[in-house]
Structure 1
Amino acid sequence: MTIRGRGLSPVLRWGLTLLLLVTVLWLVDPAAVGGQLQNVHGPWLLAALVITPFQVVISAWRWQFTVRRLGGQLPLGYAIGEYYLGTLVNQLVPGGVVGDAGRALRHRQRMKTTTLAVHGVMIERLSGQLVLFLLAAVLAAAWLPLPKPPMPGLFLLPGVLIVILLTWSLFQAPPLANWWAGFQADVRRALLSRSALPLQLASSLAVIVSYLAAFWCLAMGLGLSVAVDAPGLLLALCTVLLMAMVIPLTVSGWGIRESAAAVLWPLAGMDAEQGVALAVSYGVLVLVSALPGVFFLFSGGRQTPGRTAYQCPD
C-alpha cells in the first residue's frame, strides 16, 4: 500500500519531478555525475539487470499467495504478466500507484469480486513495505550515524500525534469504519496469521534483498569504493532511497530519490555526485527492467484466473 497524493494533478507531478531533478543537478556538479554514468562497467550493469526478473516473479508469487489466503485464485503466469504491466505503468504515469490500481481493477473484472481484488493488491504491497521499513530501521541503526538525544526533530511529535488523531477520527465514520474492519480481518488472514506471516516476510525480504543487490551491482559498475569498503553503509543508504521512492509525489520516484541521495551521501562522508549517479542509474534500471510490460500490454494470451469461492460484500 502506498501513500497517495491525490491533491496533485499529473501536470503538477511532472513539474515537481523536473523541478527536483533540475535543483539536484544545480546543487551538485552535473559534469561529475555525467562522467560517473559514462564510465559505468557494462558487466555489472548487466548483472543488475539479470536480477530484476526474479524481483517480479517473487512479487507476483507473493500476490498469488495473498489472493489465495483470501480465498481467491490467481495463476502465477497471469500474476507475472500483470506485475510487469503494473510496474511499467507505475514508471510512466505520475503517482506510483496507477499500475497497482490497474492490477486490482483487471483482477476484479475477471473475479467479479471487488473486495478480494483490491485487498489482495493492498495487502501484497503492504507486506513489502512493512519489511522494507523494518529492514531500513535495522540497517540504519547498525550503519548510519543517528542523532543523539535529545532528538532534533522532537518538536515534530505534537504534529505527528495530531495527524494520528485526525486519521483515527476519520476512520470512525461508518463507511470507512466498516471497510476498515473488513480490511483488518483480511490483513490478519493473509498477512499476520501464524501460517501466512513467515511466507510473507520471506518473500518480501527476498524482493528487497534483490533490490539492494541491484543497487550494489550498480555501485560496483560505477566504481564506488563504498561498495567494497563499507557495503553495509551502502545498503543502509539504499534502503532510505527505496523508502523515498514510496512517496508518490513525482513520476516513479524521480527527483525524490536523487534529492535523498544528494543529502545522504555527504552526511555519510561521500561525494553527493556519487549518490546522485547511483540514484539515476537505478531509476534507469527500473525503467528498462519494466519494458517487458509492453509485451503483456498487447498480448491477449494471458491466463485468466479462475472463479473464487470467497464471499465478500461488494
Structure 2
Amino acid sequence: MRLLSVHPWLLRAIQIGVAVALMGLLWRIADGPDAARLLRQADPLWLAAAVAALTIQTWLSALRWRLAARQLGIVLRPGEAVREYYLAQVVNQSLPGGMVGDAGRAVRSRGPSGLLAAGMAVVFERLAGQVAMFLAMASAFVVTLAAPGGFEWPRWLVLPVAVIVLAGTLMPLGLAAATRMPGRIGRSASAFWRMLARALLARRVLPRHVLLSIGTTVANLGAFAFCAIALDAALPLVAVLALVPLILFTMLIPISISGWGLREGAAAALFPLAGATASQGLATSITFGLAFIVAVLPGAAFIGTPSPVPARTSRAKAE
C-alpha cells in the first residue's frame, strides 16, 4: 500500500525531470541565448492576440463540451461549462500528465447521469478537437505532396507523417471492426460507438460540433502563428497548417509537464523546414506555452468553488 501511494509522486518527479532535461538540452543545441534575445524583443500586441485566441479556444471548447454532455444527459449552463473548463485547464497546467484537470471536470459534472456519461462527454469533447486538428494537418500534408513547390517535405519526415495520417484515417474503420468482434471487446466497442454517435454525430448537434471544432483549431493554430509573428518569425500559412499541428500533438505525450520540452523540441526541429531557425522555433514554442498559461489564469479564481453537479438531466434524446 505504501508503494502504491509513493508511485504517482515518483512518476511526477520523472515527468518534471524529463521536462527540465529537455529544456536544458534544447537551450544548448538550439541557440538558447538567441532564443532569449527573441523573447525579450517580443511584440506585446501580437502576444496579446495570442492570449486572446487561446481564450476564445477555451470558450469554444467549453461550449463543445456542454453540447456533448447534454446529449449524454448532463445539463450545464454556459457559464458553468466555461468555469469548469477554465478550472480543468489550470489543473492540467499545474500537474504533470495534462489530464488530471479533465478527470476532475468529469467528476465534478457527473450528477445523476453518473461518472461514465460524464467521463465520456469529456473524452468525446477532447476527441472532437483532436480530430479537427488532425484533419487540418492531414489535408495540408496531402495537398503539399500532391502539389509540390509551396512546401517541401524532407524525406526523413514524409514516412512518419504518412504513417500518422494513415493510422488516423484507419482508426474509425478499426473501431467499426471492433464492434463486430465477439465477447467483451465487441460489447465495449459497440457501447463506445453508440455513445460517440449520440454525443457527436446526432443530426442536431453534428453541424455545431463541426463549427466549434473548426473554431478551436483556428484559434490554436492562430495563437501559435501570432507567437511566431511576435518574435519576427512569421510562418507561411501552409507551414502553420502542416507543421504546427505536429508540434502541438507532442503535448499529448504524457512524459513531461503539459508538453514542455517535447513541444519546444518539435518546434526547434521543424521551424527550419519553413525557412526559420531552430532558436526561433524554440522561442516561439516557449512563448506559446507562456501565453497559454496567461490565458487560463482566470481559472485560478474558481479553485475551491463547488462543483455544478447538475440536479437535472437532459430531456433531449439521442437522434
Which of the five TM-score ranges fits, normalised by the shorter chain? 0.7 to 0.9
Q: 1:174 to 1:13 in 2, by over 3 A?
A: farther
Aligned to 2:311: 306
3-state SS in 2 of match to 1:130: helix
1:221 and 2:230 equivalent? Answer: yes
1:287-312 superposed Cα distances (whole Å, 9 cap, x missing partner): 11111111111334x655232268xx
Task: Determine the C-alpha separation between the residues in 1 that align with 2:108 and 2:125.
Answer: 16
Cα distance, 1:67 vs structure 2: 1.0
Q: How much has 1:176 moved relative to structure 2?
A: 5.2
Structure 1, unaligned runs of 5 or more: 1-5
**Matches of 2:62 and 2:206, distance apart in 1:** 17
Deviation at 1:232, TM superposition (A): 2.8
Pick closer, same or farther for the CA change 1:175–1:192 going to 2, 3 Å: same
Cα shift at 1:148 = 6.7
> Which of 85, 88, 97 is 1:86 aligned to?
88
Match of 1:65 in 2: 67
1:119-130 residue pairs with structure 2 within 5 A? 119-130=120-131
Whether the aligned pair in 1 keeps the contact of 2:108 and 2:308 (CA below 8 Å) is: no
The offset of 1:198, in angstroms, is 2.1
| Among 45, 52, 56, the residue aligned to 2:54 | 52
The structural deviation recorded for 1:195 is 3.2
2:108–2:309 CA contact under 8 A, matched in 1: no
Question: Normalising by the residue count of structure 2, what TM-score does the alignment of the two structures yield?
Answer: 0.82
Is 1:278 the counterpart of 2:284? The answer is yes
Task: Normalising by structure 1, report the TM-score.
Answer: 0.83
User: Residue 41 of structure 1 corresponds to which residue in structure 2?
Assistant: 43
How far apart, CA to CA, are the structure 1 residues paired with 2:81 and 2:222?
Answer: 23
CA shift for structure 1 position 87? 0.5
Cα separation, 2, equivalents of 1:92 and 1:153: 31
Using the TM superposition, give the Cα deviation of residue 177 of structure 1 relative to its aligned residue in structure 2, in angstroms: 4.5
- 8 Å CA contact 2:73, 2:113 repeated in 1: no
8 Å Cα contact 1:69/1:190 also seen in 2: yes
| Closer/same/farther in 2, CA of residues 56 and 118 from structure 1, 3 Å limit | same
Are residue 13 (structure 1) and residue 22 (structure 2) matched? no
Match of residue 203 from structure 1:
212
CA apart distance, 1:77: 1.0
- Secondary structure of 1:9 counterpart: helix
Contact 1:77-1:303 at 8 Å conserved across structures: no
Q: State the alpha-carbon separation in 2 of the partners of residues 102 and 49 from structure 1.
A: 24
Tell me, in whole angstroms, the C-alpha distance in 2 between the residues paired with 1:308 and 1:176. 29
Corresponding residue SS for 2:310:
coil
Which amino acid is 1:145 matched to?
E
Count residues with an aligned counterpart: 292
Change (3 A) 1:298 1:238: same
Matched, 1:113 2:119: no
Partner of 2:127: helix, strand, or coil?
helix
Q: How far apart in 1 are the matches of 2:34 and 2:153?
A: 29
For residue 137 of structure 1, what is the aligned residue in structure 2?
A: 138
Contact 1:111 1:117 in 2 (8 A): no
SS in 2 for 1:194: coil
Query: How big is the alpha-carbon RMSD for the aligned residues of Structure 1 and Structure 2?
Result: 3.1
**Pair 1:304–1:118, CA change in 2 (3 A):** closer
CA apart distance, 1:101: 0.6
The code of the aligned residue for 1:263 comes to A
Per-residue CA distance 1:262-302 (angstroms, 9 max, x = gap): 111123332101111100000011111111111111334x6
